[in-house]
Structure 1
Amino acid sequence: MTGVLFELSFAVAAPFWALMILLPRWSWTERIVRSPLIVLPVVVIYGLLVIPAMGDVLPAVTSPTLDGVRDLLGTDTGAAAGWAHMIGFDLFVGRWAWLDSRERRVPALVMAPVLVLTILLGPLGLAVYLGVRLRWARPQDAGSERQPLG
């Protein structure tokens, strides 16, 4: 069962990545991706893996040590749960970047490699997007200076 859940983790996320990368201008893409619920299938898989193993997981995450986390992730269940965790968060970050890039009118050809990088190496994809977004201001911010708070 663990192997099936491992395989399903990316399989249930892949259609949303495909929409954002391959069909960014299709009207249904925005309707679908706008919902944060697109990560729900991966969250369910994560829950199916973690909840039954809570006795092993909780000590490793409440008092983490390198050895403890290594031992947890070194099991089939731990590796599958870690993978689902990464897939879910990468999809959520990719969704945010895609929606933000649409507001800023970042070209789809710029975003496609950023999203692929986010799929493969999530934090690096996020870092690259944070750099990319500096080049494109949101339309409502263009031409206006930010007012100081207070």
Structure 2
Amino acid sequence: MYEKLFALASIATPFWLLMMLLPSWRVTRFLANSAIFPIYLAVLYAVGIVAAIGSMGFGFMQDFGSVEGVIRLMSNPDFALLVWLHILCFDQAVGHYVYRDNMEHRYVPLPVQSILLFLILMFGPFGFLCYLALRAIRKRAKVR
């Protein structure tokens, strides 16, 4: 089942391409305003986590408290795919936020936005941190 959820998650990939390559296109803006892809990935994750809790119970949560426990969880292929869905969902949500925030306020030029979205897709928190730093610099420069 988790492999099926993983395959279904790939449908959200074109939205990344639209945000990066065609950020001003009305279809891209419509999809961003509807938040359909972050919601879609969240639903897939919810299905997966409910299935995991149904089969494993809540006991797996105790493994989050130790390095050994997390490694044990990640060594389970089904759980690793579920974690990957979790990552995809949050990366999509953060990319979606950055896209909408920057399209509204234009803290960075669109080519830079595209690079930042790529960084978010590939390196999640690092790309988000880069966006927040550039946004803070631009905000500070506007105040002066």
When normalised by structure 2's length, the TM-score is 0.84
* Structure 1 counterpart SS, 2:24: coil
Q: What is the CA–CA distance in structure 2 between the aligned matches of 1:95 and 1:62, rounded to whole Å?
A: 32
Aligned to 2:49: 50
What is the letter of the counterpart of residue 56 of structure 2?
Answer: D
- The question of whether the paired residues in 2 share the 8 Å contact of 1:12 and 1:42 is answered with no
- Contiguous gaps of at least 5 residues in structure 2: none
1:57 Cα deviation after fit: 6.4
Q: What is the CA–CA distance in structure 1 between the aligned matches of 2:56 and 2:68, rounded to whole Å?
A: 13
What is the letter of the counterpart of residue 2 of structure 1?
Answer: Y
What is the letter of the counterpart of residue 39 of structure 2?
Answer: L
Aligned to 2:35: 36
Q: What is the CA–CA distance in structure 1 between the aligned matches of 2:119 and 2:58, rounded to whole Å?
A: 31
Q: What is the CA–CA distance in structure 2 between the aligned matches of 1:68 and 1:110, rounded to whole Å?
A: 39
Q: What is the CA–CA distance in structure 2 between the aligned matches of 1:14 and 1:128, rounded to whole Å?
A: 22
Aligned to 1:8: 8
Q: What is the CA–CA distance in structure 2 between the aligned matches of 1:123 and 1:57, rounded to whole Å?
A: 30
When normalised by structure 1's length, the TM-score is 0.81
* Structure 1 counterpart SS, 2:136: coil
Q: What is the CA–CA distance in structure 2 between the aligned matches of 1:62 and 1:37, rounded to whole Å?
A: 33
Q: Judging changes above 3 Å, is the alpha-carbon distance between structure 1 residues 112 and 48 closer, same or farther for their aligned structure 2 residues?
A: same
- The question of whether the paired residues in 2 share the 8 Å contact of 1:13 and 1:87 is answered with no
What is the letter of the counterpart of residue 68 of structure 1?
Answer: G
- The question of whether the paired residues in 2 share the 8 Å contact of 1:90 and 1:119 is answered with yes
Task: Report the structure, 1 or 2, having the larger helix content.
Answer: 2
Identity %: 31
1:16 Cα deviation after fit: 1.4
Aligned to 1:75: 76
Q: What is the CA–CA distance in structure 2 between the aligned matches of 1:120 and 1:49, rounded to whole Å?
A: 23
Q: What is the CA–CA distance in structure 2 between the aligned matches of 1:17 and 1:108, rounded to whole Å?
A: 14
1:63 Cα deviation after fit: 6.1
* Structure 2 counterpart SS, 1:133: helix
